[in-house]
């Protein structure tokens, strides 16, 4: 799933716009001290989760 599709799905589930979801994700990452694009953060987190799942 690409980043835009993810934004659309989350926005639909929370009755908001994809743009608002993107802004919220960027704000959350910034507040957490991360200087990274949301799409890259999601990709890195997904890769780490897959390694953990398939390692066990």
**Collapsed DSSP state (helix, strand, coil) of residue 3:** helix
Q: Is the pLDDT of residue 55 over 80?
A: no
The answer to whether 21 and 7 are in contact (CB under 8 A) is yes
d(CA 38, CA 55): 26
pLDDT tens per residue, range 5-53: 999 999 999 999 999 999 999 999 999 999 999 999 999 999 999 988 8
Distance CA 26, CA 20 (A): 10
The answer to whether residue 56 scores a pLDDT higher than 70 is no
DSSP letter, residue 2: -
Place of tokens 């910034």: 30
CA-to-CA distance for 39 and 4, rounded, in angstroms?
9
> pTM higher than 0.95, yes or no?
no
- Return the pLDDT at 1: 78
State residue 32's pLDDT score. Answer: 97
């Amino acid at each position: 799933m690409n980043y835009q599709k993810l934004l659309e799905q989350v926005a639909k589930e929370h009755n908001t716009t994809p743009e608002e979801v993107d802004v919220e994700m960027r704000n959350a990452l910034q507040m957490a001290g991360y200087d990274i694009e949301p799409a890259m953060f999601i990709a890195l987190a997904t890769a780490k989760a897959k390694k953990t799942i398939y390692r066990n």
